[in-house]
Structure 1
Amino acid sequence: MESSGELVGFPLLVKASYRACTIPYRFPGDNPNKPTLTELSWIHLFLNSVPSFRKRAETDSTVADAPARAQKFAQRYTEILEDFKKDPESHGGPPDCILLCRIREQILRELGFRDIFKKVKDEENSKAITLFEMVVRLNDDIKDEAKRVENLVRGIFAGNIFDLGSAQLAELFSKDGVSFLASCQNLVPRPWVIDDLDNFVQKWTRKTWKKAVIFVDNSGADIVLGILPFARELLRRGTKVVLAANDLPSINDITYTELIEILSELKDEHGQLAGVDASNLLIVNSGNDLPVIDLASISQELEYVAGDADLVILEGMGRGIETNLYAQFKCDSLKIGMVKHLEVAQFLGGRLYDCVFKYNDISS
């Protein structure tokens, strides 16, 4: 379903308590003319990512004079971040992760950059598609349902490592890449910083959800080897699944149109996904254009198809941790993602590359 018209609020959100950003960047008593320590740490986080974004932009063959424009991006965005250090209310501030992401994307688009990560996304999608059948087969071979669910969850975490919004991971991918199966084995050991997996598995074995809405995150192994095997398992159990993907490109996040293309490659001539009927799998444009999401602003199409869902899943650090970790819903909800920023790890009291699995069962 394509997106059109003005943005609306997510229908299953408990709006009275909603605040998109998880981390409190400032409090009412803070000096409005001076950045808080939290704001400064996030400004520096985005400053540290500027070189990797500039490098990606320089090699964008779809943009004339890409190197010069990339330098303009780096200069302009750096100047704005430095301005925030002097005056947090400049440029529409005070800054938070949503505003800092939005300004970065706006500058890139104004300079003609539409999708600076397109090449690496296509490469990672192609690699992941070749591994999909193997990953699904390994999951299907696990006959114990509880263990199979845990393996699927570990696959989501392993896939979620592919995140080029993290300066450290961007450097790692540019050098060596990351093995999906090795990542599954090398996750931070449980208990994770937020670990409701056992409760979720117990609920899974007792109940079938009628409809699940999954806000998806990155391209490559994340969507193909992490989310799609999980979604396929839900389909096999009789759950209708809605995958909500970005409207416009942002970092290496999967877009609505890219996800449709991936599904067309993975489905067979009978519309099955590795032997499972995928007629109840729907791809919807979320209306979002950032690696984080404010659920007060989603597409009307998503609002229409999500209203009767009884499970909402927000996947990835941006959507499920940096925003919406404490969002409350009128149905069961799951926030799942890997912690890839030290600032987030410190806030949660966990470790870098720790895992968050926050499950809320409204019946309990």
Structure 2
Amino acid sequence: MTAEQALPVALLLPGQGSQHRRMAAGLYGHEPVFTAAMDEFFDAAGPEGGPLREDWLAERPVTDIDHVTRSQPLLFAVDHALGRLVLSWGVRPAALLGHSIGELASAALAGVFRPRDVTGLVLDRVRRLAAAPPGGMLAVAASTAEVTPYLSGDVVVGAVNAPRQTVLAGPDGPLEKIDRTLREAGFVCRRVPSLSAFHSPVLEPACRGAAELFAAVEKRPPTVPVHSAYTAAPLTRADIDDPAFWARQPVAPVLFWPALEGLLATGDHLLVEVGPGQGLSQLARRHPAVRRGSSAVVSLLPARPGSAEADRAAVAAAAAGIAEAGHRARTG
């Protein structure tokens, strides 16, 4: 297939719930572009950078990877660094779509924020959320209409991931009660790896004041269209310039499936997931365009945590798949 015939590439960047111990660490020191991007993040993080790097690379991290002080900054850094790696192969994406913190990584990859500025914004978000009340998230194999009658006690729909995959978020006690009730009613439920109630009003007090920091940094038009999982549409200049839009993202629901539908409504794409796991790839494979074979999915990393060799093999296979689809792609 020639480059002219190749499907345009859209990068998918995952968020909370996809993190795991040593995610993508097998590429560190092996893929120079990825390594440089991670080091750039750790260096920009100042005194917090060293502990972040150490916990990321550790077999037994000091701080739980699911804690907001580790999951959020490391997910951002890994997503962004993997995106930089794919760009270094000569791939020129036509669109970016991030889930949760993946949207901030998408915006950074598209040049909306300068690297040092966005690192500061991520760390400020983390500090705020770390002070929020504990909570969690629950994935339910059901539509939003099916789960809505069960919602109570500050538990809300936190994400619409697919027509029959809804994520609930809220304080631990009420969320556990709804979890039991849904299971008794015959629904399949699974706790999402998170110690915070992302995308729920529980986090709203913690996010107050964050808009001031977003207002203080330069924001530029994206070099690549960024499809927002908060508006289910490409980012507009008004979105980008609005500090409250960015500051409220930890509170606002994630509309991943509507955003994916909007992206694929513009035409078929090769969807490349650049982040730990294959959660967004699995969701994308449910889309009619992928099921009928007109759009396709490639994952950069293994579906489950594994060895450094598994990380490297997955990246090599992804590069080969992207090249076979008609795009210039190479590792090393």
TM-score normalised by length of structure 1: 0.29
Q: Which has the larger radius of gyration?
A: 1
Q: TM-score, normalised by structure 2?
A: 0.31
